[in-house]
């Protein structure tokens, strides 16, 4: 594992434990045993490292979705369960992944590339799950699913699920 990957793995572990405010390029350099200047060869600033961590989060969720793509029996509920389990198990990372600009860098970041790759897997799941022949319609439906899943996670975390739906949704 190269330095870039070690820094991302270290940041991911730290974020999951202490939040994104705990990220420090110099601190991570010490943790991985390199000079304080070494991380700057890979990340110009903390925001770029956070973008790389967010990209890793999308890679992780994509890998969890891929088995559903391979299964002809996958359902929307199965897909939601994957999203929900990921959001519950990686709450801080999940939030970082959905910030407007986690990388504070160029518009085409690894974060965006990985988010779109995860979305394409979701489009494939929709196309297998529903009788949709048109790729554009599958993409629209996948976007609606993703929005619904994400909204559900946010509303649940905020404690805004109506009492009559507690434990149902």
Domain limits for position 52: 46-161
**Residue-level pLDDT at 86:** 97
Distance, CA of 63 to CA of 71 (rounded, Å): 14
Summarize pLDDT for 105-163 with one digit per residue, the tens.
544 578 889 999 999 999 999 998 888 778 899 999 999 999 999 999 999 889 898 88
Closest C-alpha to 61, from 129, 119, 123: 119
The structure's pTM equals: 0.86
In a domain, residue 51? The reply is yes
Name the domain count of the chain: 1
User: What is the CA angle 62-76-94, rounded to 5?
Assistant: 40
Q: Is the pLDDT of residue 20 over 90?
A: no
Would 39 be classed as within a structural domain? Answer: no
Q: Would residue 31 count as lying in a domain?
A: no
Give a yes or no: residue 167 inside a domain.
Answer: no
Do 98 and 86 form a contact (C-beta atoms < 8 A)?
no
* Residue 14 in domain: no
Q: Does residue 81 form part of some domain?
A: yes
The CA distance from 138 to 60, in Å, is 22
Domain for residue 94, yes or no? yes
Tell me whether residue 108 is in a domain: yes
Q: What is the CATH number of the domain that holds 53?
A: 1.10.357.10
């Amino acid at each position: 594992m190269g330095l870039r990957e070690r820094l991302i793995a270290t940041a991911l572990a730290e974020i999951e434990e202490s939040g994104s405010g705990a990220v420090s390029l110099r601190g991570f350099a010490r943790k991985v045993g390199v000079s304080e200047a070494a991380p700057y060869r890979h990340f110009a600033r903390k925001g770029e490292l956070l973008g790389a961590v967010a990209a890793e989060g999308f890679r992780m969720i994509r890998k969890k979705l891929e088995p559903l793509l391979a299964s002809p029996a996958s359902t929307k509920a199965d897909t939601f369960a994957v999203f929900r389990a990921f959001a519950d198990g990686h709450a801080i990372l999940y939030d970082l992944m959905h910030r407007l600009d986690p990388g504070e860098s160029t518009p085409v970041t690894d974060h965006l590339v990985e988010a779109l790759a995860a979305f394409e897997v979701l489009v494939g799941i929709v196309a297998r799950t529903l009788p949709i022949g048109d790729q554009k319609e599958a993409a629209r439906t996948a976007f609606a699913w993703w929005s619904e899943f994400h909204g559900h996670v946010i509303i649940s975390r905020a404690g805004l699920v109506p009492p009559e739906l507690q434990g149902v949704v």
